[in-house]
Chain A
Amino acid sequence: MATEPKVLIPDRHIDCIGLFCPMPIVKTREAIQRMGVGDLLAMLSDDPASDADVRSWCQITGNELVEVSREDGVYRFLVRKTR
């Protein structure tokens, strides 16, 4: 029997649509600081630079970039706080 894909339920959502660098990262950073280790953040952004910026920020800070999807020009990032 095929296993159902696991649905990830974010603990917090932030909407950064319309904002440009550095604000999606600034708001992600602020949100993550207020969350518990293991919590999942969903962030929406339509800044074309946010894909590279979020990947780079997660790499530098050690937080886990769980998933990136894009629909109609809007990115949805799922980031798990790891420390």
Chain B
Amino acid sequence: MERGGAGPDRVYLDYSGFSPVDPRVLAVMRPFLEAGIGNPSAPHSLGSEARESLEAARAKVARLVGGAASGVIFTSCATEANNLAIRGVALRSGDRARHVVTSAVEHISVLNACRDLEKAGGAVSMLPVDAEGRVDPEALRKALRPETVLVSIGAACAEVGTLQPMGDIARITRAAGVPLHVDAVGALGRMPLGGEAMGLDMVTVSSNDLYGPPGAGALWVRPGIKLMPQMLGGGQEGGYRSGTENLPALVGLGVAAELMRAEAGHGEPARLAALRERLVDGLAATIPDCRLTGSRTVRLPQHASFVLRGAKADGVLLDLDLCGVAASSGSACGQRTGTPSHVLRAIGCAPQEMEGSLCFTLGRWSTLADVDAVLDRLPPIVARLRQLALPAPR
């Protein structure tokens, strides 16, 4: 398969930050960008073609999510889908006191949508997590109140990779009759997740996370769940997300979803997990005080995150970049504020570790050579930076 994204000499292990668009997706998108097939609401025959393409994309996304196609609402990104789910359900619940339950390790778009409800007089319960970043289903059960209108828990923690016990969580919310929203970014196509079958009520999808184009996403909503639209206009997407659909990107999202589903059935998650294991074992063996964060076993197959003592992540990442390896610290917010991320704080990382957070996310074009390049190049970088960080001898 043609390699997407990064050049042949570059080791790209920041797929959760941005994924290269699959060339097969680009090939399907191209005519939609070049041939004027654009507006699915247009009355002419090209509009009719556009509608058919849009509905085909909707069906493909629904198959990946494991739910009815009629439940797919296309959005501009996963952040918008998270906002639509949380604010949409809460605002539709009327004037009664609104209580939402989420966890301390959610994506910032989930946390901020919840804080916005809090500002408007609602109540938010932030479930703590264990040292691996896992929510305790029993804590969720205890947090539910008669006025709880929504539970929002991501399928996996993007920063430390731990999978949440979604089956247990869904059983609790179903029994309580409370809608469950799941941000499935990072998890779709990499772990078993069936919207209808697992009893999920809303699922957030990111196009780029599936090797589709950026600027597209979706919220799958189980029939019967009531939402208040957050984007008002001409009534596209059943009135729940107005604005002319970004057809080229959504067609691309559809193809990306189909490819993701096919590759999940052909062992891609296992291939990624094997590469991740080599990386985790290799770094543990060659770098002292390099600790895996999150669960060792119940984690995203493409995800390896660590904390280092005695070395700062920004220096390590800069040196890695200079020798051709792109990785991240796992938290864009932390980088911008110069403070430890909310996830590392929630899992109880030691202060000495929090500045040394590294995250490697593998993807469709990751190879054994990529992993071996990190195993070869990272240990001397860490050793050098630790040496520099030592106090000068008197």
Residues in chain A within 8 A of chain B (CB atoms): 20-22, 25-26, 29, 46-49, 53, 56-57, 60-61, 73
Given contacts A21-B108, A21-B111, A26 and B337 within 8 Å (CB-CB): yes
Task: Find out whether the CB atom of B119 lies under 8 angstroms from the CB atom of A73.
Answer: yes
Q: Enumerate chain A residues within 8 angstroms of B337, measured Cβ to Cβ.
A: 22, 25-26, 29, 53, 57
- B367 at the binding interface (Cβ < 8 Å): no
What are the 9 A-B residue pairs with the smallest beta carbon separation, nearest first?
A20-B112, A25-B337, A22-B333, A22-B337, A48-B118, A48-B115, A26-B336, A22-B336, A57-B339
Q: Determine how close the nearest CB of chain A comes to the CB of B215; give it in whole angstroms.
A: 22
Cα A2 to Cα B14 in complex, Å, equals: 62
Q: Enumerate chain A residues within 8 angstroms of B108, measured Cβ to Cβ.
A: 20-22
Cα A22 to Cα B118 in complex, Å, equals: 17
Q: Determine how close the nearest CB of chain B comes to the CB of A15; give it in whole angstroms.
A: 16
The residue that B338 contacts in the complex, of A21, A29, A48, with Cβ under 8 A, is A29
Q: Enumerate chain A residues within 8 angstroms of B115, measured Cβ to Cβ.
A: 20-21, 47-49
Task: Find out whether the CB atom of A61 lies under 8 angstroms from the CB atom of B119.
Answer: no
- B116 at the binding interface (Cβ < 8 Å): yes
Cα A21 to Cα B116 in complex, Å, equals: 11
Output the nearest chain A residue to B334 by Cβ-Cβ distance. A22
6 A/B residue pairs, CB under 8 Å, sorted by A: A21-B333, A22-B333, A48-B115, A48-B118, A49-B115, A53-B339
Q: Which of B311-356 contact A (CB under 8 A)?
A: 333, 336-340, 342
Known contacts A20-B108, A25-B339, A57-B338; can you find 11 more A-B pairs with CB under 8 A?
A20-B116, A21-B111, A21-B333, A22-B337, A25-B336, A25-B337, A29-B337, A29-B338, A48-B119, A49-B115, A60-B339
Task: Find out whether the CB atom of B338 lies under 8 angstroms from the CB atom of A46.
Answer: no
Q: Determine how close the nearest CB of chain A comes to the CB of B127; give it in whole angstroms.
A: 16
